[in-house]
Structure 1
Amino acid sequence: MKFNVFVGAAALALTGTTSVAYAQNVPTVLIDGSSTVFPISEAVAEEFQKDQKGKTRVTVGVSGTGGGFKKFCRGELDITGASRPIKKSEMELCAQNNVEYIEMPIAIDALATIIHPDNKFAECLSVDELKTMWAPEAQGKITNWNQINPKFPDAPLVLFGAGTDSGTYDYYTFAIVGKEHSSRGDFTATEDDNVTVQGVSRDQNALGFLGLAYYDHNKDKIKRVAIRQADGSCVLPSVETAVDGTYQPLTRPIFYYVDKSKADQKHVADYIHFAFNPKNQQALVNEVGYVSLPENIAVAATKKFDMRTTGTHFGGGSKVGVKMEDLVK
């Protein structure tokens, strides 16, 4: 299977209601949400439909984490993908509509800060340097690279990143700035990571951020930035450094939220069991550039679903350094 966010979205995403999805009497799993989680859902949906031999369909939309939660908390979806935990406002919306949710980590992700391939001076940056770029007070003031570090050239700082409705934006700002959904506003914000890739690849002075999977599928056009750790080492984002925990603070879990009221439907339960089967995790999650769940975590997540354990491990926002085993208890 080739990774193609545009083709995948067009092929899998449908608009409409559950009645439309069942119009041909084929049970349909309705998924929407994060563009970061989309490649996983696309890969799983494709293989699951093959496995079902036409007995079940899956539709996958890309509304962003925030947009997906709005639909999910109105009861319009079976599953929403999220690149951050559910927020308090979304928890309240779900409660208003009597939507209970099962929170499940679907994979491990690392966010990548990216630069133009010809950029030789910003190949390793500290969190403090990144905060200087992205903090709200930088807006209109920090406009040149040499304001980040006097050793950097006197060249314009051009920034690209995830849209403010994106869980990727929320987690990046939380990890780098120290407060979720807090950053300067004068950057090119987009829900389409391909816009960030194109912008950075065309401007030698540009910097952006996106999910590791999007870097991996565009690494001929852009360059990863290593993060300088407390011990002075420079660690690049990769599958390996996400697994061993050395790439901090930009390694995170990404999620499926399942509507408990839909979980008893056989086609939804079958999809979840397929998605969290350890062999499928290894094959499909790794294929699209994320880190698959360790087998014991995938098994525990499935058990959590089977027990219909609802609620969130989080208090309505992101946390750095979360242990995977705590998410599946």
Structure 2
Amino acid sequence: MRSCTTNNISFIELPIAFDAITVVINPANSWANSLTINELSRLSSKQALGKISKWNQVNLDFPDVGIKLCGPGMDSGTLDVFNKAVNGSKTNSRTDYTSSEDDNVLVRFVMENKDALAYSVYAYFKNNFKSLKSVEIINPEGQAISPSKQTVQNEKYQPLARPLFLYVNDQALRKNKKFRQFVSDYLRNISSLVNSSNYIPLPDSTYRLVDAKLYRHILGTSFGGDLPVGLTIGQAIDRSFDQHKTSAHR
């Protein structure tokens, strides 16, 4: 978005799905069935670098055994979202862990190591749910919540749920009718496409608002690539209707 602003490129921001960053362990792990955000931070922040290496350092009730960490590489958007949600800053992360940009590597690492912990996108957990165990995240309300379509849509799985966006070039929409038709058709089928990819669809009522945002040609970002605290996606789109000048172009 910064590059678009710098180069005077206008765009429409369209939320299309949810992802749930999923913390996973080996099915043989019988102790870390749920974790608090503080425990995740104790394990993953810069302060843990070279210090936190055993499970009982995360929680005294856990066994005195080594912990093997695996996660996304430093260029990963998933890493940024996890660090911001858990550690308060995109750059607040320990670096002494096995990293990979390939989620399949993370999955295999956990499958092959009983004492391992990793996190990845929800789709990779869904594709490998028989070989992995998801960790329940204790949300701000004190509830231990597993990632699922229901818990993400009802906003119980917090703070590791995130919206996914489609960014569409304004000029291309205005000048190319076939491109605009392609985007419209894409949105018309988005729920089934999201489901087939094992991501989490938005509620139908929100998809109607997304289509209205395209129809009204509302430019710019209402989200900044993230969901404003305290707002649902639908509420944020409604707010954008009031904040931005619109066009009836379609």
When normalised by structure 1's length, the TM-score is 0.67
Task: Write the mapping of 1:240-279 to structure 2, written as runs, cut at 5 A.
Answer: 240-264=150-174, 265-277=176-188
Q: Which residue of 2 aligns with 1:307?
A: 216
Q: How many residues align?
A: 237
Tell me whether 1:152 sits opposite 2:62 in the alignment.
Answer: yes
The alpha carbon displacement at 1:110 in A equals: 1.3
The answer to whether the 8 Å contact 2:26/2:111 transfers is yes
Residue type matched to 1:307 in 2? R
Deviation by residue 1:250-288 (Cα, 9 ceiling, x = unmatched) = 1121111111122232332122212221xx233221222
Give the partner amino acid of 1:266: K
Contact 1:115 1:224 in 2 (8 A): yes
Q: Does structure 2 retain, via aligned residues, the 8 Å contact 1:162–1:168? A: yes
SS of match in other structure, 1:263: helix
Specify the alignment match of 1:209 in structure 2.
Answer: 119
Q: Which amino acid aligns with 1:144?
A: K
Q: Check conservation: 2:153, 2:202, Cα contact below 8 A.
A: no
The 1:117/1:291 distance shift into structure 2, 3 A limit, reads same
Question: Could you tell me how far apart the structure 1 residues matched to 2:230 and 2:107 are?
Answer: 27
Q: Does 1:130 align with 2:2?
A: no
Give 1:320 shift.
4.8
Is 1:290 aligned to residue 199 of structure 2?
yes
Which protein has greater RCO, CA pairs closer than 8 Å, 6+ apart?
A: 2
Change (3 A) 1:113 1:320: farther
Name the structure 2 match of 1:34.
none
**Identity of matched residues, %:** 36
Whether the 8 Å contact between 1:103 and 1:258 is mirrored in structure 2 is yes
Measured after TM superposition, the shift of residue 124 of structure 1 is 0.6
Structure 1 gap segments, 5+ residues each:
1-89
Pairing partner for 1:224 from 122, 134, 143: 134
SS of residue in 2 equivalent to 1:257:
strand
Kindly indicate whether the alpha-carbon contact (under 8 Å) linking 1:105 and 1:327 is maintained by their aligned counterparts in 2.
no
Residues 163 and 189 of structure 1 are in contact (CA less than 8 Å); yes or no, is this contact kept in structure 2?
A: yes
Match of 2:244 in 1: none
Contact 2:162 2:227 in 1 (8 A): no
Looking at structure 2, the residues matched to 186 and 266 of structure 1 have their Cα atoms a distance apart, in angstroms, of 50
Quote the RMSD (CA, aligned, Å): 1.9
Q: Quick one: which amino acid aligns to residue 237 of structure 1?
A: P
Q: CA separation in 2, counterparts of 1:97 and 1:234?
A: 45
| Aligned CA distance change for structure 1 residues 153 and 114 (closer, same or farther; 3 Å) | same
Q: Secondary structure at the match of 2:21?
A: strand
Structure 2 residue runs of 5 or longer lacking an equivalent are: 241-250
**How far apart in 2 are the matches of 1:162 and 1:147?**
22
Partner Cα distance (2:79, 2:14) in 1: 20
1:181 aligns with 2:91: yes
Q: Distance between the aligned counterparts of 2:228 and 2:72, measured in 1?
A: 19
**1:159–1:187: 8 Å Cα contact kept in structure 2?**
yes
Aligned partners of 2:229, 2:23: CA distance in 1, in Å?
A: 17
Specify whether residues 200 and 317 from structure 1 end up closer, same or farther in structure 2 by C-alpha distance, changes over 3 A only: same
Aligned equivalents of 1:125 and 1:202: distance in 2? 22
Q: How far does the alpha carbon of each residue in 1:64-119 deviate from its partner, in whole angstroms, 9 at most, with x for none? A: xxxxxxxxxxxxxxxxxxxxxxxxxx41x222322222111110221110001111
Partner Cα separation in structure 2 for residue 218 and residue 242 of structure 1: 19
Q: Secondary structure at the match of 1:165?
A: coil
2:205, 2:68 → 1: CA distance?
A: 43
How far residue 314 of structure 1 moved from its aligned partner, in angstroms, is: 3.6
